[in-house]
Amino acid sequence: MSVPMIRHHLPDSLLMAYSTGTLPEAFDLAIATHLSLCDACRAAAESYDALGGALLEETDDKVEMTSGAFDALMARLGESSAPEPATKRPRDPVLPEPLASYVGGELEAARWRPVGRGVRQAMIPLTDKSATARLLHIPAGTAVPDHGHRGTEITLVLQGAFTDADGTFARGDVEVATDELDHMPVADIAEDCICLAVTDAPLQFKALLPRIAQPFLGI
Amino acid sequence: TGHKVGADDWVAEMLLIRDDRCQTSFAAIFGHFAPRLKAFLIRSGLTPAVSEDLVQDVMQTVWRKADMFDPRRASVATWLFTIARNRRIDFLRKHARPEPEDLPWGPEAEPDQAEVIGLKQESDVLRQALRDLPEKQRVLVEKAYFGDLTHTEIAAETGLPLGTIKSRIRLALDRLRHAMSS
Ligand SMILES: [Zn+2]
Ligand SMILES: [Zn+2]
Mean per-residue pLDDT over chain A, rounded: 84
Choose between A206 and A19: higher pLDDT. A19
C-alpha distances in Å from residue B138, one per residue of A123, B145, B161: 40, 11, 17
Phi, psi (rounded to 5 degrees) for A203: -75, 155
CB neighbour list of residue A37: distance below 8 Å, 6 or more residues apart: A3, A4, A6, A96, A171, A172
Q: Which CATH number fits domain B1-112: 1.10.1740.10, 3.40.50.10860, 1.10.3980.10, 2.40.160.20?
A: 1.10.1740.10
Q: Which of A57, A70, A97, A158 to mutate to test the interface with B (most CBs of B within 10 A)?
A: A57
- pLDDT at res. B55: 98
For residue B66, give the DSSP letter. G
Q: Where are the alpha helices (DSSP H) in A59-147?
A: 69-78, 99-103
Residues on chain B touching A128 (C-beta within 8 angstroms)? 93, 95
A50 touching chain B per CB within 8 A: yes
- pLDDT (tens digit per residue) in A129-167: 888 999 999 999 998 877 777 778 899 999 999 998 889
* Helix (H) or strand (E) run with residue A208 in it: helix A208-217
ipTM of this predicted complex? 0.87
* Contact between chains at A51 and B98 (C-beta distance less than 8 A): no
More confident residue, A130 or A31: A31
User: Is A43 within 8 Å of chain B by CB?
Assistant: no
pLDDT tens per residue across span B148-167: 566 677 777 777 676 776 77
What phi and psi, each to the nearest 5 degrees, are found at residue A157? -85, 135
Distance, CA of A89 to CA of B142 (rounded, Å): 37
Q: Are A134 and A194 a contacting pair, CB within 8 Å? A: no
Say which DSSP state A162 is in.
E
Instruction: Decide which of B87 and A83 is more confident.
Output: B87
d(CA A116, CA B99): 33
**How many contacts (CB atoms, under 8 Å) link A and B?**
166
The CA distance from B33 to B155, in Å, is: 29
User: Mean pLDDT of all residues in chain B?
Assistant: 84
Indicate if B133-182 has the same CATH topology as B1-112. no
Mean local confidence (pLDDT), B126-151: 79
Q: CATH top-level class for B133-182? A: mainly alpha
Strand A113-114: give its sheet, edge to edge: A113-114, A120-123, A132-138, A193-199, A153-159, A174-177
Give the pLDDT of residue A219: 42
Query: Cis (ω within 30 of 0) for the bond into B104?
Result: no
Distances (CA, A) of A145 to A166, A214, B151: 16, 11, 32
B94, pLDDT greater than 90: no
Task: Check whether A3 has a pLDDT greater than 80.
Answer: no
Q: Which residue of A has its CA nearest to B43?
A: A61
**Dihedral (C-alpha) A202, A205, A209, A211: value to the nearest 10 degrees?**
30
Distance of CA A101 to the CA centre of its chain: 13
Of A16, A29, A52, the CB nearest to B81: A52
- Burial of A113 from C-beta contacts in 10 A (0-12 / 13-18 / 19+): middle
> How much is the pLDDT for B106?
46
Alpha helices (H) along B44-105:
48-64, 76-93
Query: How would you class B89 by CB atoms within 10 Å of its CB: exposed for 0-12, middle for 13-18, buried for 19 or more?
Result: buried
CA distance B156 to A98: 34
Tally Cβ neighbours within 10 Å of residue A157: 27
Task: Examine the pLDDT at A115 and tell me if it is beyond 60.
Answer: yes
Ligand 2 centroid to residue A126 C-alpha, Å = 20
Task: Indicate the Cα dihedral angle A97, A98, A102, A103, nearest 10°.
Answer: -20
Q: How far apart are CA B117 and CA B130, in angstroms?
A: 20
User: What pLDDT does residue A89 have?
Assistant: 66
DSSP 8-class letter at A143: B
Give the distance, in angstroms, between the CA of residue B31 and the centroid of all CA atoms in the same chain: 15
Residue A117 Cα to ligand 2 middle (Å)? 16
Q: Where are the domains of chain B?
A: 1-112, 133-182
Instruction: Locate the chain B residue with the closest alpha carbon to A66.
Output: B52
Could you report the per-residue pLDDT of A36-50, keeping only the tens digit for each? 999 889 888 888 898
Residue ranges and CATH numbers for the domains of chain A are: 1-55+92-219 (2.60.120.10)
Who contacts A149 (Cβ-Cβ below 8 Å, separation ≥6)? Answer: A177, A178, A179, A181, A199, A201, A203, A204
The one-letter code for the residue type at A15 is L
